[in-house]
Amino acid sequence: MMDPRAYGGKILPQMLEADPEASAAMHEAGLLFRSDAMRSLYRVAIQVAGSDAPVLLTGESGTGKEIFARLLHTLSNRNGRPFVPVNCGVLTGELFADKFFGHEPGAFTGATRLQKGSLELAADGTLFLDEVGEIPLPNQVDFLRVLEERTFKRLGGEKDLGFRARIVAATNRSLPDMVRAGRFRADLFYRLNVIPIALPSLRERSDDVPPLAEYFLWLFGHHYHRPNLRLSPEALVLLSRHHWPGNVRELKNLMERVALLHKTDGPVRPDDLPLEMRLELGQDLDPDLHPAALHHHHGAAEDLNLDTVVRRAETAAMLRAFKCAGGSKQRTAELLGISPRTLRHKLAQYGLKLE
């Protein structure tokens, strides 16, 4: 496997081969692709990177919204200035205000020194608002005021400070639906939604699975001192056919697990991939149980163990139910006609992890 910087024309679109600076920007942002969907998005990134207009990134969890935000920053004239990411999903009330606005000494009990907030730390760079849909309504008012006036005050402060950073926000929720339900301010939504960019799920760009899988295995193989790990062609086919409900994040985590647990430095084959993945795609657990094998090995059918048959049937049923339930374990248990407790017991018994 190669250093991702050496992928060059194999992965990057032809339009980038003559643009070393653009290629470097992609690698710096950690973005690898070969699909038409991502090529189109990259062209959009080039078009809007130089603008100061807010960008709203939408897409399922794990699609790489922060990576794309970093790409926008890298391609812009703000490159080299701060890129400040903030997870809005863990901030409420005073914690939100302190995180964004900072505070002066004595602003509240325990505030013994000046603390700059994210608005100030971003300076004239990029402020990335992850999970922006999770900002509580009262705090949405505070943030809207900053966007409108381009100034703010630290907690306990009296001096107006200028806000010059570009806003890139991201969410895996439907903000228009939240606006209609009264959970997100319409005026703030319109302020953020100047340049909307929807990132496709990994299953919608399966052509990107092989280069991403190879890159992540290369990355973790070197991290765990196993630089010779390779994915076999058969394993790459299996990975490309997987549904990837967790998107790029799921693929990255799987490659780390493979790098840690693969027993040899030989090729990673389908049998080395998770059981649930092979079952989902119709791969047999045991090649001796394949119908073709049974046809050539008389007597094998009589040797089947009932526990093995039950395990295979229950595992396949749980995986199908989980898929039909849209990823909800509660609904999965309901579809199977068992309690959530029984489902947890079965998953532990068979060593399955539903994600």
Residue-wise pLDDT for 14-28, tens only, equals 333 434 444 555 554
Mean pLDDT of the chain: 83
Better-scored residue on pLDDT, 181 or 106:
181
Find, among 32, 26, 24, 23, the residue nearest to 1 by Cα. Answer: 32
CATH of domain 35-200: 3.40.50.300
Return d(Cα 304, Cα 141) in angstroms, integer.
65
Confirm whether 35-200 and 208-350 share one CATH topology: no
Per-residue pLDDT, averaged over 65-80, amounts to 93
- Return the percentage of the chain with pLDDT > 70, whole number: 83
How many C-beta neighbours within 10 Å does residue 276 have? Answer: 21
Options 1.10.8.60, 1.10.260.40, 3.40.1710.10, 1.10.3720.10; CATH for 208-350 is 1.10.8.60
Return d(Cα 235, Cα 229) in angstroms, integer.
13
Residue-wise pLDDT for 278-321, tens only, equals 777 665 444 443 444 334 444 444 445 666 767 777 888 888 78
- Return the percentage of the chain with pLDDT > 90, whole number: 50
Structural Rg of the chain based on CA atoms? 25
Model's pTM, two decimal places? Answer: 0.73
- Every domain of the chain and the residues it spans: 35-200, 208-350
Return d(Cα 289, Cα 285) in angstroms, integer.
8
Residue 306 confidence (pLDDT) = 64
Return d(Cα 232, Cα 351) in angstroms, integer.
24
